[in-house]
Structure 1
Amino acid sequence: MITPPRHEDTARFAPRFGQRVLLTVDTEEEFDWDAPFTRDAHGLEHVAQLPRFIAFCEEIGAHPVFLVDWPIAGNAAAMECLTDAQRRGVADIGVQLHPWVNPPFDEEVTEANSYTGNLPDELAQRKFTALRDRIEHATGTAPLIYRAGRYGLGPDSARMLKEGGIAIDTSVRSLFDYSAQHGPDYSDHPLAPYWVDAERTLLELPVTTVYWGVLRQLGKHIHRAQRHLPTFFSAFSRLGLLERIALTPEGVTAEEAIRGIDIALDLELPLLVLSFHSPTLMPGGTPYAETPKDVDALYDWLRQVFAYLDQRGVASTGVAEILADVVRD
């Protein structure tokens, strides 16, 4: 079980930081999201789309953080492209652990084991270390930011990350509960960044999700009821009473995201964390991009959202700036 933080663990930032946005990309292999997990049934065709995406981000003023997993880290074309972007200061590279494709392969491939936090601590540590070292070897730089694949943190994840030199985790998806699929429950976790440890060496940046609608103050309670009444929450959404808005171009319209941004800014969140999966850059790469038109829609979403953020005075940020401006005392 992942325990929600205390109020006093909320992170503060230097006044110059203001309100910023961090664009995170789960940079991973293509695979069939509807099929059981496998060690080898995946592809990397979308890697050819990364240069276009990086150039687009430079155009709109976004600073992507590429959270790289094992197959990507072993692909020379991908790592050459991403390393060049990091070297030029227009992107960052971090770690994303998909245990089912990340050696050592000492566990059974199951849905429960797709969450790293469910693995034995020693095995999770070995998988993480192998991936971190592979990324450092490819880039020449030790990664400082991590996301567990499927948001799969566990009780010992913080120790593993701290020992591995990670300064920022962004695995928590606040307001979401994955316990029905053997994963963690983040429904009571805050939206604002917070310190994971008493020493204030590991910073958590939750992926931003907010409730919208006249009943949004009751969002957590209504979602708990949904566990027993599956159609309960969808009815509230259709009536415009309550909607959960994740800041992602995958399944969320730009108009919905802009409503979510307004709420997040009104809540005075210092940092908004956006996310999507890199295979969505290619038609057929994920269920969110079945056609070229769907890919174009992703780019349009990002263009609209970052234009609105600029209008609201919210600038992009990266790992170095976050670590420089977070207050540790």
Structure 2
Amino acid sequence: MVQPAGNFFAEPARSDLVELAADERSRFWVTIDTEEDFDWEAPFARTGYGLASVPALADCQGYFERAGVRPIYLVDWPIVADDRAVEILGAAQAHGGCEIGAQLHPWVTPPHDEAVSARHSYTGNLPRDLQRAKMTALRDAIRDRFAAAPTVYRAGRYGLGPDTATMLAELGFRCDTSVRSGFDYRAGHGPDYRSAPLHPWWVRTEAGAVLEMPVTTIFSGLLGGAGRAVYHRLARNGTHVGAALARLGMVERIALTPEGIPAARAREAIDIAVDRRLPVLNFSFHSPSLQPGNTPYVRTQADLDLFYRWWDVVLDHLARRGVEPTTGAEILAMAERKAIA
């Protein structure tokens, strides 16, 4: 079936992929889903969330500044509305220590015209006009609170839809980072990214082009290049199958995140990504993990200490491999140079 123009789910043309030149090296990007604290196991709700983890953003920013990394905070509506978050992140943005992008959680973003449900937690499942209204509200709130309109977008829960690219271009966004390559969210009413590329690519719409910068997921193991297809064929009905494949050394799915991925596995994935000459290694995590008790990945202070030690190990390995940090603005500039060339 022919996909409509501007659809993130269409297989990109070879000419739209962004690849490294012979004299270029891979770079890495740290993207942070900066959001409210809520129970990941509970039904979605417009109210009842917390913001206790917001002060921990200062420690996070301090850590990355000392490491020479400029993260991008993809902020959602409750974060934008919080004066403490604006003070912490606004000050860092003002002195060039970070970038600010948008992350849309539809259930807490106005206008509140939809029923709150698991299906509607993916923005791409909402009516087109409502999607656009929520995206516009979030963009304008970020512009007003941080004195600059965001150009990078992530759909909460990676919930892109067939109209998202066109709306992003119309609203002035230039880069999307919602595609989580190698993952399938159809069981929960979400998108299927199993076959998505790991390279950035241009999505062209009548309103303009948007660069897709997928979140990086690497498949390792004895099966080599065939591992990805085998994983999706065998592990589609349960993660226990994927765990068994990993224990056997056949194939393992490794996301570049400190949430649930051991540092040793992340180092392995970095080596594979660099050897494959990926232009950008896109790391991600959720800001509530910066405070114990908010996510399954950081339950205690010891877990939080391990979280930062993970970054110590990973950043050291990236430096050993000659992989330097980058930013959304630099990624766009690189991709535009290649488009012109």
Q: TM-score, normalised by structure 1?
A: 0.96
For residues 23-52 of structure 1, give each alpha carbon's deviation from its aligned partner in whole angstroms, at most 9, with x where no partner exists.
000000000001010001210111111111
1:201 aligns to what SS in structure 2?
strand
Counting matched residue pairs gives 329
2:140 maps to which of 129, 133, 144: 133
Is contact 1:216-1:243 (8 Å) kept? no
1:226 match: 235
Within the candidate set 114, 118, 123, 1:111 is matched to: 118
Deviations, residues 191-240 of structure 1 (Å, cap 9, x unaligned): 11111116873111000001010113223322123224664332211111
Equivalent position of 1:158 in the other structure: 165
**Which structure 2 segments of 5+ residues have no match?**
1-6
In the alignment, which residue of structure 2 is the partner of 1:292? 301
Structure 1 residues 91 and 239, CA gap change in structure 2 (3 angstroms):
same
Structure 2 partner of 1:204: 212
Q: Counterpart amino acid of 2:105?
A: H
| Higher alpha-carbon deviation: 236-245 or 315-324 | 315-324
Deviations 1:94-122 (A, max 9, x none): 00000001111111111110000110010
SS in 2 for 1:105: coil
Instruction: Report whether the alignment pairs 1:180 with 2:187.
Output: yes
Q: In structure 2, do the counterparts of structure 1 residues 16 and 26 end up closer, same or farther at CA, with 3 Å as the change threshold?
A: farther
**Aligned partner of residue 71 in structure 1, secondary structure:** helix
Q: How many angstroms apart in 2 are the aligned matches of 1:217 and 1:13?
A: 20
Alignment of 1:30-69 (within 5 A): 30-69=37-76
Which AA in structure 1 matches 2:243?
A: S
Of 144-153 and 303-312, deviating more is 303-312
CA contact (8 A) 1:17 1:325 kept: no
Determine the structure 1 residue equivalent to 2:312: 303
2:274 matches 1:240: no
Give me the whole-angstrom Cα distance separating, in 1, the residues matched to 2:144 and 2:61: 22
Distance (whole Å) between structure 1 residues aligned to residue 74 and residue 329 of structure 2: 15
Evaluate the alpha carbon distance shift between residue 72 and residue 229 of structure 1 in structure 2; reply closer, same or farther with a 3 A threshold. Answer: closer
Q: Which moved more, 1:229-238 or 1:204-213?
A: 229-238
Higher mean alpha-carbon deviation, 133-142 vs 12-21, is at 12-21
Residue type of the partner of 2:187?
A
The residue aligned with 1:262 is 271
Map Cα deviations across residues 117-142 of structure 1 (whole Å, 9 max, x no partner). 11001000000100010000001111
Q: Does 1:274 align with 2:283?
A: yes
Deviations 1:136-165 (A, max 9, x none): 000111111000000000000001110111
Q: Whole-Å Cα distance in 2 between the matches of residues 110 and 226 of structure 1?
A: 26
Q: What amino acid sits opposite 1:210 in the alignment?
A: I
Alignment partner of 1:21 out of 14, 18, 28: 28
Unaligned runs of 5+ in 1: none
Q: 2:81 aligns with which of 59, 71, 74?
A: 74
CA spacing shift, 1:136–1:230, aligned 2, 3 Å: closer
Percent identical pairs in the alignment equals: 50
> What displacement does 1:12 show?
3.9
- Alpha-carbon RMSD: 1.6
Establish whether residue 249 from structure 1 lines up as the match of residue 270 from structure 2: no
The answer on whether the counterparts of 1:107 and 1:113 sit within 8 Å (CA) in structure 2 is yes
CA 1:185–1:20 in 2, change beyond 3 Å: closer, same or farther? same
Cα distance between partner residues in 2 of 1:229 and 1:288: 20
Contact 1:94–1:144, Cα closer than 8 Å, also in 2: yes
Q: Is 2:339 the counterpart of 1:328? A: yes
Offset, 1:14: 6.6
Alpha-carbon separation, structure 2, partners of 1:100 and 1:208 = 26
The residue matched to 1:107 in structure 2 has which SS? Answer: coil
Q: 1: distance between equivalents of 2:249 and 2:268? A: 13
Which amino acid in structure 1 is aligned with residue 229 of structure 2?
A: H
Alpha-carbon distance in 1 for matches of 2:179, 2:90? 26
